Chains A and B, each alone.
Chain A
Amino acid sequence: MNKTTRILTVDDSASMRALLLHALTSSGFEVAQADDGVAALEWLALNEVDVVITDINMPRLDGFGLIERLRAGDRHQDRPILVLTTESSDEKKQRARNAGATGWIVKPFDPEKLATAVRRVTH
């Protein structure tokens, strides 16, 4: 039996976290949640994860900063990081790509497309 894929979602909106938790657990994933980039780094310092799904606009440390910090260390250089955002500009997308993001998803998200993306980046 395969190991359950563990996902950390990072989003400052409690409503969005609730939607993500429901969608991802319904697809069979194990989900942990953080409400901004700083909380994500603190959680990741103590826990293992297979995929990170992060928003861009967040207080304290935004999604770009989170990706840059994770890629700068040894532990998360190859970790799939998906950006899930309301931002639709090519400039922001390119910035995420340059920071080291694995993929880009524009909200409102489709639960099935999101689950498919997670499976693609973990296999």
Chain B
Amino acid sequence: MKRITVLQGQICVSGDTNVEFGTVLGSCVSSCLFDSVAQIGGMNHFLLAEPPANHTPGQVDVHYGVYLMELLINEMLSRGAIKQRIRAHLYGGANLRAGMAPIGTANAAFARTFLDREHIPLLREDLGGTCARRVDFRPATGQVRCRTVESTLAPDLKPASRTDRRSGDVELF
């Protein structure tokens, strides 16, 4: 079995039955999507930034999340998946430290809302709480194993936002 670690901000897609994706999540959320007919699956791993102070507290900047979800879905479609057949699992979104902004909760809410809007059925979720998780996902079969792990194993938070990326640049022809 070839194991591939999916880091924050990454997406990975495969139809290889000998591939397993893995990641460790604290406040981050990982979406595991798969099409069981095409035997194609993919995983992403994201943490959305909190928006500027003039926005409602607890909200997240969803631009980057929508982008990472779309990137994952498009990569699956390009390898033969059909959007109507895609099913989802969601993991992560914990709030590891008491007293801090519930960024994990906001990220989990974003992921659920995204799937609902795109009409992608959510088969299983293990979201929220105060513990870090390790997720192992076999993309070709959709099999997932999710375990709680020591919070010290969760990666440092690196909230992503479009403001610190050179995103949205416009090229006129």
Contact = CB atoms under 8 A, between A and B. Distances in A.
B74 interface: yes
Contact of B167 (A18, A59, A107): A107
Name the interface size band of chain B.
20 to 34
14 contacts: A13-B66, A15-B69, A59-B83, A86-B74, A93-B171, A97-B173, A102-B172, A105-B171, A106-B168, A108-B64, A108-B67, A108-B167, A109-B63, A116-B170
A65 interface: no
B117 interface: yes
Nearest to A107: B67
Chain B interface mostly helix, strand, loop or mixed?
helix
Contacts of B150: none
A26 B168 CA distance: 17
Interface of A: 12-16, 18-19, 57, 59, 82, 86, 93, 97, 101-110, 113-114, 116-117, 120-121
Contacts of B113: 15
Given A13-B118, A15-B117, A108 B170 contact: no
B146 interface: no
B63 A108 contact: yes
B74 A117 contact: no
Given A15-B114, A15-B117, A59-B83, A108 B66 contact: yes
Closest 9 CB pairs of A and B: A110-B168, A108-B67, A14-B117, A117-B170, A103-B172, A108-B63, A109-B168, A113-B168, A104-B171
A63 to B, nearest CB: 12
A108 B167 CA distance: 6
B158 interface: no
A103 B170 contact: yes
Contacts of B64: 108
Contacts of A12: 83
Given A19-B66, A110-B167, 9 more contacts: A13-B66, A13-B118, A86-B74, A93-B171, A103-B170, A104-B173, A107-B66, A108-B167, A116-B170
B114 A113 contact: no
Contacts of A16: 66, 70
